[in-house]
Structure 1
Amino acid sequence: MKPPHDTNGTSTFVFPTTFPIGTKRTSPLVNTAQLRGHLFLMRAFMELKEQVRTIHEHPKAVLYQIPKHEIYRWAWFVGLAVERFTLWCLSINHDNTHGKSIIDILPPIDVIMVWHAYMLNPARWYAEDRLRLPSLATLHEVGNMFADSLPNLTTILALKASDARVEAWTQNTKRLFDPLDDAVEQKTKTLYCPNCRNPIAASLVSEYGRGYLQQGFGIYCPQKSCPRQCIIYGLLGLRKLAEDLVRNDGTMRSYLAGSLRTSKSECDVDRAKKIKDVIITSAGFTRPPNTTDEQWILFIMDKCSYFVKNIMGYLPERDQALFLRILNAYSDDRMFSVELTGAVLRQGTFIEKMQKLGWVGLSNNQEKETALQHAVARYHAYLSFSCSPRFLDLMASSPTKFFVPTLDIDLVWHTHQLMACKYNDNCRLYVGRFIDHDDRVDSDRLASSFDDTCRAWKNRFGIQYAYCGCLMPGETLKDKLLHFLRFHTDPLAHLVPIERKDILDTTHASDHNAVYPNISKVTGDASRKYEKRLKRAQQLSRKGKTNTIIPVKREGHNQAFLVPLWTYYQEEPVAGGCVSQGLSGTMAPSRPVASGDGSGNAGNGEL
């Protein structure tokens, strides 16, 4: 189908009232009011980042504790925000949240920013953590309230924080509400020695780069009786893993991160138990006779020579991707299975791209409403696409494949994920399994997978997937999102953007979470592939054999891809003691425990 022309500057696009997903039809799972709330939230994040840029001018700032370079300064601030998010999660409970309005219990914007990234990087970890960790039970309840408030965020965030909201935060966390004021007050973090459990006051930032919020973190326990062992993130993570291996109190906390939830089951206890048993048995972690839990924990740490990655050598090779994914959840001492500082930074790249494209802070008019409606329509087609027979056949024949959404689809997809319970229920009902996305994927695989996505989409719907014709978003254009669609009798007309370059560009893929292990090779290969595709498309266009506009390539545009949409298909049997790898990909936190290829990327076994 050829994109319709915008000849009179007015939109005749008719937004469907229902959408087909598989064999079912549904009213929109995400609406434009929710999209606007999410976009306004992103705007608040950008404003916060701009404030942090000048935090060194704060009257109480200690300059050596605030990184000079803006990039490192932002990473330092995000690390502090993760600490504040942790405190908030531990402090909220049924008594101090029940019956209250979200307006009065919503945390400061920096904490919301971390929470936002947690829900999106990737969704399955967030869902499972809420099940495994008792401390996150109330977060689940408040999360439902937050999801309901999405359409109202433009109003809530525009208002000054109420006295009740500020008081709720300060009473629960004992910290200042204003994130910048609090940032300059925080100097240390209390850690517990992995060996003797002695409390240690670790500097957050040191002049020598050894602070807790710095990449070179390292500290020694001051106890004379404790082994003179440098405490680093990995050792703290190993202690957390050993505690989970030893814990057997009958609660969900007894199971390892990444072992309970699968694409077909929200809580597969039998599978999780088998995974834990395989690790304990294969690695030689069986409990020594007549030992306490603490002695058993220390035995496990000693057995693997105090490095989590050493455990991999003991585990079955066929399930290495699964085990590596689990072990990567133990990269530090924080309770979360996602390394949240890195998650926020990666999401920040996506938000910056959206701002440059004019998505953040969209005004409320019909033209932009049409733009958001078109994004919603394409997202529903994407969900339908993920459960089509052609898609499932491709997944079964090539289990390492995944599909890459375009930027407009991804906006709606992320907004859907912010409504965690609704997203989970919708996936089960309409797609038949939980659809997740990986947090970090090698750009070569993204490039290949985006090509696969374009071909599969064309085969499924008979229309183009991406109309932009470029490798990256175009220069800043205020109306980058606008898709004026002329009414068409074809039932798929709502999926086709108008034939106008500034509108077609919105169907490109982005790269906010791509991992580039060898940037010169990647860009070289990608550019050659693109030039070949562009030349071929131009030839077909001249011959009248394609309906796609071929925009002029602009300088400064590199290959770009979005995070993949993981659509799991294969069953997850447990045979011979553990789980076979299903759909695979790459996943690694900012502090990976191991890497098979030296790139810092870890396998993403089917969980």
Structure 2
Amino acid sequence: MPPLDVLMVWHAFILNPRCFLEDCYRVGKIDFWRTGLPWSIIDSLIDNNFDYNLPITAINNFQISTNLKVENLDCPDSIPVNCPLCSSLVPVPVTNNKDNTGYADSKFSQTCPNGTCQAAINVETLSRAKFLQALNRLTSPAGTPLPGTVLDIDGKPNPEVMLPNNTWMFPNQFCIYLQDSLRTCGSDPRTADLNDVKSEMTRSLESRKFLKSGIVPYRRLDREGKISFRRMMSRFWSNPSPFSIHLVGAVIRQGVFVQKMAEIDWLHSPAIVDTIEAAVKKFERFMDMIKNYPDRCVVPTLNVDLVWHTLMGNPASYWKYTTAVTGKFIGHDDKIDEARLGKSFQWTCEKYEKLYNEPYSECMRSPTPLPDTTVIHNVANMTRHMLVLRSNPLPLPIHDQALLLLETPSNTRRSRPGDARICPLGGPNPRQVPAGAPESLLPRADL
């Protein structure tokens, strides 16, 4: 098991189910995707004071496998970062109290010490370097598609979208066409960033040279092509990490949810089982609304969101449930702006009450006062809340095709890393992808 901070990041990552699936799929880590959060083990490591205690074997395993200390205070004060221009490893301070320009600071900014380089090292220049690395993999013999394009518009791996005449592949074909100018754009290579890449793409799109070139069989970009392009670019904006989502922001956003759950303190409610059953019933209806109103933003209440988070903690079960109910692998967007969120929540409340003759939003606080806890203890509290959901069998008829809180049997056959393949552009016909490529992402029949 990892340290608590790594567990927090893992939890935040898994609550972005499409990004988590995409990244595991692209790097052949489907076993990890299927595993889900090991709640029973986590539960055993949390004591009655809500302290998370790693056994010495787990500490040693983590430190040996990662070459990192479990305690952040024991880690080095700097981390090595590749210069976006010359690729030299540059030691960057984790934090700089003088001007907040360290790697973890809000104004992160460094300069490559290589006298012949002197390139700017910041979030945007590193994001451009990440894009160029993805472009190199795309144009290599492997032809690895760009992030954001390996899952279809419904969030599922689909060989059909890999066909050259499918507009979902537009970002890959477009970037191959522009590869030389994308690598050299920007007035100064030392400060070139992702905005320069965007400007180069915009100029080409406005001229329509690519669409008129005859390389692709279509002359205009449809809705799916535009969505694919935006989704691809979203993987790089202000995100120099190897992941398809900026996990720092994801953890911070989940911290807000954790704080709310700790304040409500359902854990100490004498009616916890009834509370959970009501929440699961409302969650079922919530998913039905997502299915029946696909063009609407359906907003969850806190208790619905708790059930939602719990189910996402087991990606295979979540895949099975959402695809069975809605036909899509439902994402979980926690970055919606407040104005849209407010209007959408009002619509959700009104529609829910009209459909089910029940109020959608209601106060469900526990009468037990919230103990004085730290943020870390609040995370442990949240873990306990989810464990309650996981450990209580619910007598509700969720759906015949997918049980909400389904556990994977201990004898479930594990997939091999080779099961996850991405059909390269320019490679074999996607219709002839070996059996088990996209299908390997589906839960086993015995789940």
Give the alignment's TM-score, normalised by structure 2: 0.68
How far apart, in 2, do the equivalents of 1:376 and 1:139 lie? 26
Query: Shift of residue 461 of structure 1?
Result: 2.0
Q: Which amino acid aligns with 2:44?
A: T
Cα distance change of structure 1 residues 189 and 276 upon mapping to structure 2, 3 Å threshold: farther
Note closer, same or farther for the CA distance 1:407–1:326 as it changes in structure 2 (3 Å cut).
Answer: same
Structure 2 match to 1:169 = 62
- 1:191 counterpart SS class: strand
**Per-residue displacement from partner, 1:277-311 (whole Å, max 9, x unpaired)?**
644665785355xxxxxxx8743677998232342
Please name the residue that 1:329 is paired with.
Answer: 235
Deviations 1:206-250 (A, max 9, x none): 122111111211111122222x33121111111111121221456
Q: CA offset at residue 199 of structure 1? A: 1.2
Q: Structure 1 CA distance, aligned partners of 2:125 and 2:12?
A: 25
Q: Is the 8 A contact 1:279 1:315 kept in 2?
A: no
- Residues 517-555 of structure 1, C-alpha deviations (whole Å, 9 max, x = no match): xxxxxxxxxxxxxxxxxxxxxxxxxxxxxxxxxxxxxxx
2: CA distance, partners of 1:280 / 1:418: 32
Matches within 5 A, 1:350-361: 350-359=257-266
The residue that corresponds to 1:231 in the other structure is: 121
Cα deviation, residue 377, structure 1: 1.9
CA distance in 2, matches of 1:246, 1:437: 30
Q: Distance in 2 between matches of 1:412 and 1:277?
A: 35
Aligned partner of 2:184 among 299, 307, 310: 299
Q: Name which of 23, 31, 39 aligns with 1:129.
A: 23
CA contact (8 A) 2:149 2:232 kept: yes
1:423 partnered with 2:308: no
Structural RMSD (CA) = 3.3
* Range that drifts further, 439-448 or 313-322: 313-322
Judge conservation of contact 1:404–1:453 (CA < 8 Å) in 2: yes
- The number of aligned residues is 342
Q: Do 2:126 and 2:193's aligned partners in 1 also have CA atoms closer than 8 Å?
A: no
SS in 2 for 1:211: coil
Q: Which residue identity lines up with residue 466 of structure 1 in the other structure?
A: S
Q: Does the aligned pair in 2 maintain the 1:280–1:286 contact within 8 Å? A: no
Residue of structure 2 equivalent to 1:536: none
Cα displacement string for residues 308-339 of structure 1 (whole angstroms, at most 9, x for unaligned residues): 23425244787666534322311333211111
Asked whether the equivalents of residues 427 and 435 of structure 1 are also in contact (C-alpha less than 8 Å), the reply is: yes
Which amino acid in structure 2 is aligned with residue 150 of structure 1?
A: W
Which residues in structure 2 correspond to 1:547-566 (within 5 Å)? none
**Are positions 1:456 and 2:351 aligned together?**
yes
1:195-210, aligned counterparts within 5 Å? Answer: 195-206=85-96, 207-210=98-101
Contact persistence 2:297–2:344 (CA under 8 A): yes
Q: How far, CA to CA, are the matches of 1:191 and 1:409 in structure 2?
A: 41
Give the Å deviation of 1:265: 5.5
2:280 and 2:307 in contact (8 A); partners too: yes
Identify unmatched segments of 5+ residues in structure 2. 207-220, 371-395, 398-447
CA distance in 1, matches of 2:355, 2:171: 42
> What is the distance in 2 between the residues matched to 1:372 and 1:412?
8
In structure 1, the residue matched to 2:253 is: 346
Residue ranges of structure 1 left out of the alignment (5+ in a row): 1-105, 289-295, 481-493, 496-607
Deviation at 1:269, TM superposition (A): 5.0
Identity over aligned pairs, percent: 23
Q: Which residue type is aligned with residue 183 of structure 1?
A: L
- The change in CA–CA distance for 1:435 and 1:332 in structure 2 (over 3 A counts) is closer
Superposition deviation, residue 139 in structure 1: 3.2
Q: How does 1:256-295 map to 2 (within 5 A)?
A: 256-262=146-152, 264=154, 266-268=156-158, 271=161, 278-279=170-171, 286-287=178-179
- Cα 1:137–1:355, aligned 2, differ >3 Å: closer, same or farther? same
* SS of aligned partner of 2:288: helix
| Equivalent position of 2:106 in the other structure | 215
Tell me, yes or no, if structure 1 residue 374 matches structure 2 residue 278.
Answer: yes
Aligned residues of 2:23 and 2:243 also touching (Cα < 8 A)? yes
SS of the residue corresponding to residue 347 of structure 1 reads helix
User: Are residue 188 (structure 1) and residue 113 (structure 2) matched?
Assistant: no
CA distance in 1, matches of 2:146, 2:367: 47
Q: Which has the larger radius of gyration?
A: 1
Q: State the distance in 2 between where 1:116 and 1:439 align.
A: 14
Q: What is the DSSP-based 3-state SS (H/G/I as helix, E as strand, rest coil) of the residue aligned with 2:241?
A: coil
- 3-state SS, counterpart of residue 247 of structure 1: helix
1-structure distance, mates of 2:150, 2:354: 36
Give the Cα separation in 1 of the matches to 2:43 and 2:78: 35
Counterpart secondary structure, 1:219: strand
CA distance in 2, matches of 1:236, 1:263: 28
> Which sits farther off after the overlay, 242-251 or 441-450?
242-251
Counterpart AA for 2:247: L
Partner secondary structure for residue 81 of structure 2: strand
Map residues 108-147 of structure 1 onto 2, 5 A cutoff.
108-120=3-15, 122-134=16-28, 136-137=29-30, 139-140=32-33, 143-144=35-36, 146=37
2-structure distance, mates of 1:340, 1:441: 16
With over 3 angstroms needed to count, the CA separation of the structure-2 counterparts of 1:110 and 1:265, relative to structure 1, is: closer
In structure 2, give the amino acid aligned to 1:286: L
Structure 1 residues 129 and 301: CA distance shift in structure 2, 3 A: farther
Counterpart amino acid of 1:195? L
Q: Which residue of 2 aligns with 1:308?
A: 194
- 2:425 match: none
Alignment correspondent of 2:290? 386
Question: Is the aligned partner of 1:154 residue 2:154?
Answer: no
CA distance in 2, matches of 1:107, 1:380: 33
Residues 479, 368 of structure 1: CA spacing in aligned structure 2 closer, same or farther, 3 A cutoff? farther
Q: Is the 8 A contact 1:246 1:297 kept in 2?
A: no
TM-score (norm 1): 0.51
- 1:437 corresponds to which letter in structure 2? H
